[in-house]
Amino acid sequence: MKTFLHVADIGDLQTALNEAAEIKQDRYKYEHLGHHKTALLIFFNNSLRTRLSTQKAARNLGLDVIVLDVNQGAWKLETERGVIMDGDKSEHLLEAIPVMASYCDLIGVRTFAGLVDREADYTEKILRQFIEYSGKPVFSMESATAHPLQAFADLITIEEHRTKARPKVVLTWAPHPRSLPQAVPNSFAEWMRAADVDFVVTHPHGYELDPLFVGDAKVEYDQFKAFEGADFIYAKNWSSPGVTNPADYGQILSKDMSWTVDAAHMAVTNNACFMHCLPVRRNMIVSDDVIESERSLVIPEAANREISATVVLKRLLQDNF
Ligand code: CP
């Protein structure tokens, strides 16, 4: 594995889950792999869980870690080629990438979707430049269209809590006051399709996910119907992916509060576990009582971010050095 963006990059999922279980037993088992190597974690956007869990994972593997917040303390970076740089951006990404790469062995990048230009976002314009010009193994810490470290942690969490061979897993859209990217639902859909689960997506019309990620997964527009018999409810807001109407890309098409996951929704499930990647807006996405219930997995799910990141960084070290 030289890059980590899609589920295919990790190979056989059961093997990856076995590695996750092994690392959970002994987080420092592969501490020797990172000796005298450095991971550079570059954040173009805010983060709590990814920032902390990826640093912890790197240290589990004996790596040194450098964290760069591009928009706090570094020169402002121009990302478009051909621009006359007479504005406030002092450095071009095309110089910055090889310079940053010269100080490290692995690069993690967080760069959110702009939600204006669908093509730029869905071709992963910024992440692809890191892959092309750094010459180093690159992994996504949430890019424009995907959040694979989150989806892998979600899969580990489902594996740990499932009580049947093939659980029903429902991804549900829920309302939010701001326009959010599709990275988390895209990756969750991609990873659930690859896993052995009965996967259903529910959202209002206009929120259809890109076929690259959602494939032929079942879509049910009636949220209560989708929830019936579910074993896991995974809530997330996303803005319109612009699949049915390109002009809607990045737009908020609904703030329908009847989609908020509350006790009435959970009552039609098979005593489902509740999941969300966090951060979460309470009483927009999910009611207080549901997120605080004993069926809520949001904290162990976030804790598993350390485990998914340790597996991914371990693979990058083993496969490239
Ligand atoms: N779930 C997640 O990626 O959290 P952060 O944005 O805080 O890193």
Q: How far is 106 from 130, CA to CA, in rounded Å?
A: 11
Query: Of the residues 41, 45, 47, which should be mutated to test ligand 1's pocket, given the most ligand atoms within 8 Å of the CB?
Result: 47
50 lines ligand 1 (CB under 6 A): yes
**pLDDT attached to residue 16:** 98
What pLDDT digit, counting tens, does each position of 202-244 carry?
999 999 999 999 999 999 999 999 999 999 999 999 999 999 9
Nearest CA to ligand 1 atom 4: 49
Tokens of 58: 């790197």
Q: Which pLDDT value is given to residue 71?
A: 86
Beta-carbon contacts of residue 28 (< 8 Å; ≥ 6 apart): 60
Give the three-state DSSP class for 321.
coil
pLDDT digits (tens, 9 = 90+) for 38-79: 999 999 999 999 999 999 999 999 999 999 999 888 899 999
Q: For ligand 1, what atom is nearest to the CA of residue 149?
A: 3
- Distance between CA atoms of residues 247 and 296, nearest Å: 36
Q: Is the pLDDT assigned to residue 171 strictly greater than 90?
A: yes
**What pLDDT, on the 0 to 100 scale, is given for residue 103?**
98
Q: What is the pLDDT of residue 73?
A: 84
Tokens of 93: 């990404």
Return the pLDDT at 229. Answer: 98
Q: Is the CB of 143 under 6 A from ligand 1?
A: no
Tell me the C-alpha distance between 221 and 59, whole Å: 44
Q: Give the Cβ contact number of residue 28 at 10 Å.
A: 12
Within 10 Å of residue 164's Cβ, how many Cβ atoms? 10
Q: How far is the CA of 297 from the centre of ligand 1 (A)?
A: 15
Q: How far is the CA of 47 from the centre of ligand 1 (A)?
A: 5
Q: Using 50, 70 and 90 to split pLDDT, how confident is the model at 320?
A: very high
Is the separation of the CB atoms in 249 and 118 below 8 Å? yes
Could you give the CA distance from residue 236 to residue 171 in angstroms, rounded to a whole number? 7
Tell whether ligand 1 has an atom less than 6 A from the beta carbon of residue 49: yes
Residue 183 pLDDT exceeds 90: yes
CB under 8 Å to 303, separation ≥6 — which residues?
none
| Cα 302 to ligand 1 centre (Å) | 9
Q: What is the Å distance from ligand 1's center to 142 Cα?
A: 8
Closest residue by Cα to atom 3, ligand 1, is 50
The dihedrals phi and psi of 243, each to the nearest 5 degrees, come to -75, -45
Q: If you average pLDDT over residues 72-91, what whole number do you get?
A: 92
Q: What is the pTM of this model?
A: 0.98
Place of tokens 């997506």: 201
Instruction: State mean pLDDT over 281-298.
Output: 98
State the residue for tokens 């740990």.
160
Ligand 1 pocket test: which of 53, 109, 278 has the largest number of ligand atoms within 8 Å of its C-beta?
278
Nearest CA to ligand 1 atom 7: 48
- Lookup result for tokens 């895209």: 186
- Would you say the CB of residue 293 lies under 6 angstroms from ligand 1? no
Atom of ligand 1 nearest to the CA of 141: 3
pLDDT tens digits for range 256-289: 999 999 999 999 999 999 999 999 999 999 999 9
In short, whether 146's Cβ falls inside 6 Å of ligand 1 is no
Q: What share of the chain is helix, strand, coil (3-state, %, to 5)?
A: 40, 15, 45
Across the chain, mean pLDDT equals: 97
What percentage of the chain exceeds 90 in pLDDT? 98
Question: Encoding tokens for residue 258?
Answer: 């009847």
Pairing of strands 38-43, 106-110: parallel
Given a contact cutoff of 8 angstroms between Cβ atoms, the answer to whether 284 and 174 are in contact is: yes
Q: In what order do the strands lie in the sheet with 38-43?
A: 3-4, 138-140, 106-110, 38-43, 64-69
pLDDT of 296 higher than 90: yes
What is the position in ligand 1's atom list of the atom closest to the CA of 147?
3
pLDDT value at residue 25: 98
Segment 2-37, tens digit of pLDDT: 999 999 999 999 999 999 999 999 999 999 999 999
**Is the CB of 187 inside a 6 Å radius of any atom of ligand 1?**
no
74 C-beta closer than 6 A to ligand 1: no
Residue 160: which of 17, 321, 283 has the closest Cα? 17
> Is the distance from the beta carbon of residue 150 to the nearest atom of ligand 1 less than 6 Å?
yes
